[in-house]
Amino acid sequence: MLNASERFFLIDCGEGTQKQLRVHKIRFTKIEHVFISHLHGDHCFGLIGLISSLGLLGRKAALHIHSHPDLEKILQPQLDFFCKELPFEVKFEPFNPKESTVIYSDKNLEVETIPLRHRVPTVGFLFKEKPEDRKVKKEFVFIHQPSIREILDIKKGADYHTKDGIRIPNAQITNNPPPIRSYAFCTDTKYTEGIVDQIKNVDVLYHEATFSKDMAALAKKTYHSTAEQAATIARKAEVGELLIGHFSSRYKDLNVLLNEAKTVFSNTSLAEEGRVFNILLK
Ligand SMILES: [Zn+2]
Ligand SMILES: [Zn+2]
């Protein structure tokens, strides 16, 4: 679950999702958009249960589900059968998983897909804040008394012209807006450097690390990554922080994977159930 200024975005919805949301007291009624990376059960089996519960809780607002076009074919019959009286609309928002596209945009945030390499068509998601307007300096407003129209133009980067025709460059009368933050979510995928450019410099990268490096052959065969590979992507993309997850159940001690990743990229953490991470500027 991504909380972006109190807007809630659910990314993938495996079987245990609803239970974990309840256990960790996350207000899942506030979810407006769900992003499904690919149509493997561990990433979408939780949808029908979650939607049904939202209906019982009396939700009215539409729920948008962004996914491969086939999800509608799978989920609509279940909705027709189990959720006949649903008090809100489920809006399917299909995208083409083969290309990178902007699939969501509001005034603060944009989401684009990151094509990955897995056994079925799969994408990651890149969440990027939109830059705010430039901040107009108070002294300038006090001295020159610009009109509202002029202030709006200056916020967008325009210079100011005094009544005597003197040009004051924008940089002198404004301050930079706060820097934007970004988060990339990449699961499931084999090691692919093709994503590095797109996720370059993100503040936080979540990357799957299903296996340890001694199982690299199995990782390749099943289109998954090792912890070392996840960390290599993080290092090449020069991200701020790496979160690893999607661990094979064979690992009883996840420190094996954490330590392996840390030897390549030190600022790595385990994305374990219930943990909360702040997205800090790198
Ligand atoms: Zn998968
Ligand atoms: Zn998976």
Amino acid at 152: L
Q: Which two tokens stand for residue 165?
A: 């025709």
Residues with Cβ within 8 Å of residue 265, at least 6 apart in sequence: 231, 232, 234, 235, 242
Task: For residues 198-219, give the mean pLDDT.
Answer: 98
| Residue 1 to residue 276: CA distance in whole angstroms | 10
Instruction: Please report which ligand is nearest the Cα atom of 42.
Output: 2
Instruction: Please report which ligand is nearest the Cα atom of 43.
Output: 2
Name the band, by pLDDT with cuts 50, 70 and 90, for residue 251: very high
pLDDT of residue 255 exceeding 90, the answer is: yes
- β-strands 123-129, 182-186: how paired? antiparallel
Confidence at residue 281, expressed as pLDDT on a 0 to 100 scale = 84
Q: What is the pLDDT of residues 150-178, one digit of tens each?
A: 999 999 999 999 988 999 999 999 999 98
| Residue 34 to residue 26: CA distance in whole angstroms | 15
Instruction: Please report which ligand is nearest the Cα atom of 119.
Output: 1
Cα 179 to chain centroid, rounded: 17
- If you average pLDDT over every residue of the chain, what do you get? 96
| Residue 13 to residue 43: CA distance in whole angstroms | 5
> What are the residue numbers of the active site?
42
Q: What is the pLDDT of residues 121-143, one digit of tens each?
A: 999 999 999 999 999 999 999 99
pLDDT of residue 118 exceeding 90, the answer is: yes
pLDDT of residue 5 exceeding 90, the answer is: no
CA of 118 to the centre of ligand 1 (A): 7
pLDDT of residue 282 exceeding 90, the answer is: no
Name the band, by pLDDT with cuts 50, 70 and 90, for residue 105: very high
Backbone φ and ψ for 221, nearest 5 degrees, come out as -65, -40
pLDDT of residue 280 exceeding 90, the answer is: no
- For residue 126, which of 206, 191, 185, 53 has the smallest C-alpha distance? 185
CA of 221 to the centre of ligand 1 (A): 13
Q: Which two tokens stand for residue 31?
A: 């979810």
Task: For residues 196-208, give the mean pLDDT.
Answer: 98
Instruction: Please report which ligand is nearest the Cα atom of 245.
Output: 2
CA of 23 to the centre of ligand 1 (A): 25
Task: For residues 193-204, give the mean pLDDT.
Answer: 98
Q: Please say whether the dihedral angle defined by the alpha carbons of residues 105, 273, 46 and 32, taken in this order, is positive or negative.
A: negative
Q: What is the pLDDT of residues 233-248, one digit of tens each?
A: 999 999 999 999 999 9
Q: Specify the pTM.
A: 0.91
Instruction: Please report which ligand is nearest the Cα atom of 247.
Output: 2
Within 10 angstroms of residue 17's Cβ, the number of other Cβ atoms is 21
Confidence at residue 270, expressed as pLDDT on a 0 to 100 scale = 98
| Cβ–Cβ < 8 Å for 155, 174 | yes
- Dihedral, CA of residue 221, residue 227, residue 231 and residue 237, to nearest 10: 40
Confidence at residue 71, expressed as pLDDT on a 0 to 100 scale = 98
Q: Which two tokens stand for residue 207?
A: 């990357």
| Residue 227 to residue 166: CA distance in whole angstroms | 59
Residues with Cβ within 8 Å of residue 237, at least 6 apart in sequence: 195, 196, 199, 200, 201, 202, 205
Residue 148 burial (C-beta neighbours within 10 Å; 0-12, 13-18, 19+):
exposed
CA of 256 to the centre of ligand 1 (A): 22
Q: Which two tokens stand for residue 194?
A: 């093709």
Looking at the chain, the whole-number percentage of residues with pLDDT higher than 90 is 95
Residues with Cβ within 8 Å of residue 116, at least 6 apart in sequence: 37, 38, 122, 123, 124, 186, 187, 188, 189, 192, 195
CA of 14 to the centre of ligand 1 (A): 11
Q: How far is CA 121 from CA 41, 154, 194, in A?
A: 14, 45, 15
CA of 270 to the centre of ligand 2 (A): 16
CA of 213 to the centre of ligand 2 (A): 18
CA of 107 to the centre of ligand 2 (A): 32
Name the band, by pLDDT with cuts 50, 70 and 90, for residue 60: very high
Amino acid at 135: K
